[in-house]
Amino acid sequence: MGFDPRTIGKPVYEALQGLRTLPGQDDARLKEQKNQAVELYTYLSTWGLMRLKAEETALSQEGKKQVVKKYFECLEAISEQENLAGKDGLETLKNLDTDVYLGLTGLGLAIAQEFSFWAAAVYVGIEVGK
């Protein structure tokens, strides 16, 4: 069988849908989630995977942190590169071979584009910046 284009879109959609439907969330948290999902590509293309992983622990806004965690879970699942999503993710990224890290970055950018696209569909009605 050939490549299934849903390989990237489906886990991203499911991750965001799962966050969106968590019980007890208010509009502020949903705005944080949507905003972070939209901004992932820009952050990643500017700063890279290692800084994004480090940012995950530094984020004070829980909604944004949730999205970054889901991003790394998707990256780990799609790439089949172990230990990206957990607490050892930064060490894993730091110790990767250069070619593997660069390939993972390319895949990570594609996944970040999916997060941005699906954020608009999943968080319809949630206005960012208001």
Amino acid at site 29: R
Burial of 33 (0-12, 13-18, 19+ CB in 10 A): buried
Structural domains in the chain, sorted by start: 8-120 (1.10.520.30)
Largest CA distance in the chain: 46
- Give 26-85 pLDDT, tens digit per residue: 999 999 999 999 999 999 999 999 999 999 999 999 999 999 999 999 999 999 999 999
Residues 6 or more apart whose Cβ sits within 8 Å of residue 54: 90
Instruction: Give the pLDDT score at 32.
Output: 96
Under 8 Å between Cβ of 83 and 46 = no
- Give 1-34 pLDDT, tens digit per residue: 466 878 999 999 999 999 999 999 999 999 999 9
| Distance between CA atoms of residues 83 and 47, nearest Å | 20
Consecutive H or E run containing 101: helix 98-122
Over residues 102-117, the mean pLDDT reads 96
